[in-house]
Structure 1
Amino acid sequence: MEISTDKARLNVSLIHQFLSEQSAWAKGIPLEKVQRSIEHSLCFGAYIDGKQIAFARVVADKATFAYLMDVFVLPAYRGQGHAKTLMHAVQEHPDLQEIRRFILVSSTARGLYEKFGFQAPAKPETFMEINRPTIYLR
Structure 2
Amino acid sequence: MTDGLRFSNRTEDIDRTLVHYWISELSYWAQGRTRETQDTAIDGSRNYSVHDQATGAQLGYARVITDGATFAWLCDVIVAPHARGRGVGKRLISGIVDDLEPLGLRRILLATADAHGLYAQYGFEPLAQPERWMVHL
Tell me, yes or no, whether TM beats 0.5.
yes
Instruction: Look up the SS of the partner of 2:108 in the other structure.
Output: strand
CA distance change for structure 1 residues 96 and 51 in 2, over 3 Å: closer, same or farther? same
Mean CA deviation greater in 87-96 or 27-36 = 87-96
Mean CA deviation greater in 80-89 or 21-30 = 80-89
Matched length: 131
Deviations 1:27-74 (A, max 9, x none): 000000000000010000111121111001000111000000000110
Match status 1:31 vs 2:11:
no
Q: Distance in 2 between matches of 1:96 and 1:84?
A: 20
Q: Distance in 2 between matches of 1:55 and 1:121?
A: 24
Q: Distance in 1 between matches of 2:77 and 2:100?
A: 19
**Identity in percent:** 34
Q: 1:61 aligns with which of 57, 64, 67?
A: 67
Instruction: Look up the SS of the partner of 1:8 in the other structure.
Output: helix
Deviations 1:69-109 (A, max 9, x none): 00011011111111111111000005654110110011011
Shift >3 Å, 4+ stretches = 94-97
What are the residue-to-residue correspondences of 1:1-138 with 2, within 5 Å? 1-48=5-52, 49-94=55-100, 97-131=103-137
Query: 5+ unaligned residues in a row in structure 2: which ranges?
Result: none
Q: Distance in 1 between matches of 2:102 and 2:68?
A: 6
Question: For the Cα contact (< 8 Å) 1:44–1:90, is it kept in 2?
Answer: yes
CA distance change for structure 1 residues 80 and 101 in 2, over 3 Å: closer, same or farther? same
How far did 1:130 drift?
Answer: 2.0
Instruction: Look up the SS of the partner of 1:43 in the other structure.
Output: strand
Structure 2 length-normalised TM: 0.91
Instruction: Look up the SS of the partner of 2:30 in the other structure.
Output: coil
Question: RMSD across aligned C-alpha pairs, in angstroms?
Answer: 1.2
Instruction: Look up the SS of the partner of 2:20 in the other structure.
Output: helix
Q: Distance in 1 between matches of 2:45 and 2:8?
A: 14
